[in-house]
Structure 1
């Protein structure tokens, strides 16, 4: 069966209806209606501006700038309408007289962290991610466009969800129930071999773009977290991946690719993906190619380590085998200068702290500062947010975390932030 290669209809009614359904599934509409009462219950109303962001002064803490590694003691961060207006030593920062303040004396202050691979299907999951310190994120796909609904929630009520780059639905051979998410995907259910032809691959990408996806997610291998699947089995060829990348590029978007096998990683990188996800058996040759191309590596160490703790013997053995291989790949990538980015691959209602991924990056051989950069400056660059995320400097987003200890001496403090501020609003 053929699928017409014409772009999906740009009907506002179709898009509005599809995304309204996604919002209902994600519970974002209910979260928005409850936002005023939630804010009042948490004492946040006084600092909230009309735009939904906040005014706040964080003072007395030790400020870390991940970009430079510079540390400022007794620092002050001034946030107005959700944006940093000043940050630095107390003597150099003018503090507004009527400012609402957060005392950070004896603590460390860092920019909010970025989780560059997370699956946020509900408003509750999105809120948990923020509370764990991920004030920005990139989706790894959702089955019914829930991440697009979460992105809109974040824009209207930033303290309820991380700033999000949404991926929409997965470009995968078997769409499963995802065909129910969108009338423009339904015809693909009749394809005998699934989403494999150039026309079908383009159609899923184009529908995602029409629904407002910021990035496109695809795969080259089967899944590691499902015991019946072989994560080294390849599901798409270089040519098929190239179709996905080309269709995404025509829409001005990049592609993240779920990859495990050596050949699969190489095919994905050669096809022109923006970032390699998981990448357990990525070869040295492919890492060199990634360095040349500027392809990012999101190893999702915490997700792979989590397999080793599974009660399923197949997954547990898989995790025990994969973790040391992946750590070595991360170490090699870092030494070669491949951009490393932190992502938890959280899903299914279990939201892992992004600080745990930073901790595992450090354990794999990165310095504490370089590990922190994978969840700040480097992740921000991958998401195209380098001018607003990853630092606390004038003009950057008023997103930050306060931790109880020096993260340069002990990165584990990032797993349990004492305070999280999103767009000037304290959670």
Structure 2
């Protein structure tokens, strides 16, 4: 069967029905129906996401905490953050920051105040998982793909009721050789079901990317190696070569999107980087040659240390051994990347109904050898740049989103406090 002559995917006629099904699977429709005000706030894209200057959200003053700006490292005691319509209007020392009368005040005395954290690799399949991610401090995130476009439904939930979900960059479905039941997600994928070799030809690879773009994906997720989390697979086995990865990248670029790539072996990592991916995911055995190329190209490294550490706790002996073996190797790769100047982003790779706190990934970055401030930047300013949201997320400064985490200790002295925020604010609304 050939997909070369298949009509282009529909961006109008089928998108509404497909995404309605995704919303039903994700439970976002039920979440919206339980929030009467949501209907009046629906919009194609939040103005705050486009410019960081306007938005729909709450009005709030966060008063009395110690404010940390990850961009500069500046610490301001007895700070005031003024949020209007979900966007920061002022942030700084009390004496230099005017507080609007009649605005709700959140007392932050005794806490440190940081911008909401940015989770660069997470699989959000349900509204419940999305809300859990926010409660654990991730107010902005990038999806690592879902089987039936649930992440696109979660993104729409976040736009309509920000406090229920992180601001999300959705990846749609995985560009992988075997789509499995994902072909049932979309009638425009069904021509791929009969391909004997799976999604491998340039035409088939382009088709999956184009369908994702037609459904509204913000980024494209693909792979170069098999999975580490399945004992029957060999994570060092390569499933796509550089030419195939280049086809994925080219199709994504035609739609103005970047590509994140699941990877493990050094050869796989190098092929992916040379193919032009935007970020390398996992990348346990990435070598110095590839890291230097990543620095030259500005390719991001999202090591997902949390996921690799989690393997070591598995009941399966194969997975447990992988975790014990891979984690120290990956920590060395993270340290080498930082020393070489490769941009790093924090991501937990949470999936399957369990949401790990993004603060735990920051703690692992610190354990890998990053200074505390640089580790914090991987989940704030650094990750925000990767997501193209450097003017919206990652700081509490004028024009940025009114997302914040309140911590019960100094994260520069002990980054572990990021794992359990005492309070989270999303778009000016305390969660």
Q: Which of the five TM-score ranges fits, normalised by the shorter chain?
A: over 0.9
Alignment correspondent of 2:44: none
Take 1:83 and 1:270, find their aligned partners in 2: how far apart are those partners? 39
- 310 and 276 in structure 1: CA distance in 2 versus 1, 3 angstrom threshold: same
Match status 1:288 vs 2:303: no
Residue 198 of structure 1: CA displacement? 0.4
Residue 65 of structure 1: CA displacement? 0.1
Cα-Cα RMSD: 1.4
1:5-404 superposed matches below 5 A: 8-36=8-36, 51-52=56-57, 54-404=58-408
Take 1:18 and 1:418, find their aligned partners in 2: how far apart are those partners? 38
Take 1:112 and 1:51, find their aligned partners in 2: how far apart are those partners? 17
Take 2:361 and 2:307, find their aligned partners in 1: how far apart are those partners? 9
Take 1:71 and 1:50, find their aligned partners in 2: how far apart are those partners? 27
- Is the 2:225–2:263 contact (alpha carbons within 8 Å) kept by the matching residues of 1? yes
Normalising by structure 2, we get a TM-score of 0.95
Please give the per-residue CA displacement for 1:348-379, whole angstroms capped at 9, x wherever unaligned.
00000000000000000000000000000000
- Is the 2:9–2:210 contact (alpha carbons within 8 Å) kept by the matching residues of 1? no
- Is the 1:115–1:342 contact (alpha carbons within 8 Å) kept by the matching residues of 2? yes
- Is the 1:7–1:206 contact (alpha carbons within 8 Å) kept by the matching residues of 2? no
Alignment correspondent of 1:44: none
**Partner SS, residue 185 of structure 1:** helix
Take 2:105 and 2:245, find their aligned partners in 1: how far apart are those partners? 50
**Partner SS, residue 25 of structure 1:** helix
Residue 11 of structure 1: CA displacement? 4.5
Gapped runs of 5+ residues in structure 2? 39-53
**Partner SS, residue 263 of structure 1:** helix
Match status 1:2 vs 2:2: yes
Take 2:16 and 2:337, find their aligned partners in 1: how far apart are those partners? 42
- Is the 1:405–1:413 contact (alpha carbons within 8 Å) kept by the matching residues of 2? yes
Alignment correspondent of 1:42: none
**Partner SS, residue 355 of structure 1:** helix
**Partner SS, residue 63 of structure 2:** strand
